[in-house]
């Protein structure tokens, strides 16, 4: 618009002439041609301005389209990031499922090998699954039975000297330093298994005379381990440790074996201890 004003100012100067001045035909023709040229320039200028307005409008429209495309791109990036995160989670779940599958295979091999579940070509997949589920249910029952019995332990000691003990005489210790679970009876010397599982037992015998003493750990009357003490002219002592898998209700005790003679046990160092390890 600035150059347009200048053109019109120039034309005005040419037309500002004294009224009494006579113009020749050539001069009139020149001014007429100049006026026509100025009008032509004005028409072209208007046309250019309209094109500029259209271009500006199209540019604004393109900017709006670009903003929408950018928003869509950002949304797609967020979806992609979410998919990647879900993919990582799925990979973790697949890894866990593969580990569980390996554990199931190992468990199936164990139970098939042990004969707990019979599998043959005539069995359907459902029957095999039923047997496995039954086996797993039994294992869960065992775990539930074990729950709450983790703290089963005792340690008993002889609170007096004992002598003239005959074969199969159960040692009645009479005192304990620990009896968690109250499965050990200090009066009878018998530990009654409160829950099926694996247990560790240790026992010791001592005297200060020239005697030979045999003592057995018995489970329901069956020997599971043996201690030999003496003979010696000074203090002598025998100890042993045994780990046993036991069933609930079984009785565990320490008793004098028939192989000894002149049996005498001294207090304090004659002990019997046990602890529940696991189901």
Q: Which residues pair with 176 in a beta bridge?
A: 156
- Rounded to the nearest integer, the mean pLDDT of the chain is 78
pLDDT at 201 over 60: yes
Based on the domain organization, do 87 and 119 belong to the same domain?
Answer: no
Q: 213 falls in which pLDDT band (50, 70, 90)?
A: confident
Domains in the chain: how many in total? 3
pLDDT computed for residue 188 by the predictor: 94
Residue 224 lies in a domain: yes
Range of the domain at 139: 99-146
Question: How many CB atoms are located within 10 Å of the residue 62 CB?
Answer: 10
Q: Which residues pair with 273 in a beta bridge?
A: 155, 202
pLDDT at 172 over 60: yes
User: What average pLDDT does range 94-109 have in this prediction?
Assistant: 77
Question: How many CB atoms are located within 10 Å of the residue 215 CB?
Answer: 28
Query: Hey, what are 20's tokens?
Result: 């009494």
User: What average pLDDT does range 12-22 have in this prediction?
Assistant: 56
Based on the domain organization, do 84 and 173 belong to the same domain?
Answer: no
Residue 55 lies in a domain: yes
Q: What pTM was estimated for this model as a whole? A: 0.48
Nearest partner of 254 among 160, 173, 159, judged by Cα: 173
Query: Hey, what are 143's tokens?
Result: 């775990």
CB 28, CB 15: distance < 8 Å: no
Based on the domain organization, do 206 and 117 belong to the same domain?
Answer: no
Q: Which of 146, 180, 204 is the last residue of a domain?
A: 146
Q: 117 falls in which pLDDT band (50, 70, 90)?
A: very low
Distance between CA atoms of residues 4 and 38, nearest Å? 9
């Amino acid at each position: 618009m600035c150059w347009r004003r200048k053109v019109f100012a120039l034309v005005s100067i040419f037309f500002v002439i004294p009224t009494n001045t006579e113009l020749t035909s050539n001069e009139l023709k020149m001014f007429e041609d100049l006026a026509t040229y100025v009008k032509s320039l004005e028409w072209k200028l208007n046309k250019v301005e309209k094109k500029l307005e259209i271009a500006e409008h199209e540019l604004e429209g393109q900017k709006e389209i670009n903003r929408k495309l950018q928003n869509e791109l950002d949304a797609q990036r967020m979806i992609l990031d979410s998919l990647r995160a879900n993919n990582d989670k799925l990979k973790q779940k697949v890894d866990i499922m593969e580990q569980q599958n390996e554990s199931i295979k190992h468990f199936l091999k164990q139970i098939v090998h042990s004969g707990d579940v019979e599998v043959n070509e005539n069995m359907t997949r459902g029957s095999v699954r039923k047997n496995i589920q039954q086996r797993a249910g039994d294992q869960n029952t065992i775990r539930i039975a074990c729950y709450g019995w983790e703290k089963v332990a005792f340690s008993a000691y002889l609170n007096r000297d004992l002598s003239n003990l005959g074969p199969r005489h159960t040692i009645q210790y009479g005192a304990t330093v620990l009896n968690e679970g109250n499965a050990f009876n200090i009066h009878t010397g018998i530990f009654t298994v409160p829950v099926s599982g694996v247990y560790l037992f240790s026992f010791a015998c001592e005297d200060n005379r020239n005697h030979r003493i045999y003592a057995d750990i018995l489970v329901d009357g069956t020997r599971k381990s043996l201690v030999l003490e003496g003979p010696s002219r000074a203090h002598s002592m025998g100890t042993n440790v045994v780990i046993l898998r036991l069933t609930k209700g079984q009785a565990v005790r320490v008793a004098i074996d028939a192989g000894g003679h002149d049996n005498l046990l001294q207090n304090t160092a004659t002990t019997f201890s046990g602890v529940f390890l696991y189901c």
